[in-house]
Amino acid sequence: MSQAASTLSEASPSNRLALAALILGGAAIGGSPIFVRLSEVGPMATAFWRVALALIPIFIVSLMKKHAGPKPQSLSDYGMLILPGVMLSLDLAAWHLSLTMTSVANATLLANLAPVFVTVIAFVFFRARTSGVFLLGLVLALAGVVILKGGPAAIGNGDLGGDGIAMIAAFFYACYILAIGRLRSRFDTIRIMLWSTASAAVFIFPIALIHEGHMLPASLYGWSILFGLAFISHAGGQVAITYALAYLPPAFSSLTLLLQPVVAAILAWALLNEAIGTMQALGGAVVLAGIMVARRG
């Protein structure tokens, strides 16, 4: 990671733009729990429509692009383009399932362990070096998420099975981030998003159909929630993150996505009248401090 981290610290225009895109992407995804909570269909069906409807703007943009970059040349290329979608579908299915089995605080907290998995996987399989400063920032940011979700006492309020599934979701999201990071050295953002989003929709559809059966919202309001989730959180958020991964280390990128629970708490306060107490405000500040420390590492 040292080379990538030094590139980040140079703060070139491309890196600054990538960092802005990453933060905006994390903020866009941070709104997804609100959309899921307001959805008229079950969590699995909501996950399917999230990726299926997101194909609309992604496909339109892909048609408008004159220079789409290199095309896949082999079965291996196609497999690598599909892999992130498989990981994303498993992540969404596991996280949404965990929301029905354990507390929302536990599911959100444990699903945000993805930066830990990214760091470990990158070190074990790709020999990425990690500085002590980065690890300090990682620990600080994770501590901020714990504070944001109510402190260590809140962790004991969930179901053990649901907590385990939330951690599995974190593992699959880490695999998604790493797979996207590897692809960005060869393919452009829209091509990756088109393939990964389509494959995610294909893989999650049977899971939603078998698990819930009912797939269609009952009202125009229900459809508007699904379109908001698809266009803002996925088409907007994931495209921004995929772009950023061409310039920023995957471990740092996954760490910055810990902004998601901070954004979710702010949106819940603004839209659902959920109060933000001292613990939530302190937790958000600690998350931001951890990210700033990690950036220096």
What is the tens place of the pLDDT at every residue in 255-290? 666 777 777 777 777 776 767 677 777 877 777 777
Question: Which of 85-89, 122-126, 151-155 is the most confident on average?
Answer: 85-89
Report residue 50 CA to chain centroid gap.
13
Question: Between 169 and 117, where is the model more confident?
Answer: 169
Average pLDDT over residues 65-83: 85
Nearest to 37 by CA among 209, 272, 214, 221: 272
Closest C-alpha among 62, 71, 87 to residue 190? 62
The model's confidence at residue 10, banded by pLDDT at 50, 70 and 90, is very low
Q: Is the pLDDT of residue 2 over 60?
A: no
What is the structure's pLDDT at 9? Answer: 45
* pLDDT tens for each residue of 203-234: 999 989 998 888 999 999 999 999 999 999 88
Please answer whether residues 32 and 233 qualify as being in contact, where contact means their C-beta atoms are separated by less than 8 angstroms.
yes
So what's the pLDDT on residue 106? Answer: 66
Tokens 């999201």, located at residue: 173
Contact 87, 204 (CB under 8 A): no
pLDDT at 248: 82
E strand or H helix at 118: helix 114-126
Nearest Cα to Cα of residue 264 among 118, 140, 148, 139: 148
Average pLDDT of the chain is 80
**pTM score:** 0.75
> Domain boundaries in the chain?
13-60+70-293
More confident residue, 268 or 184: 184
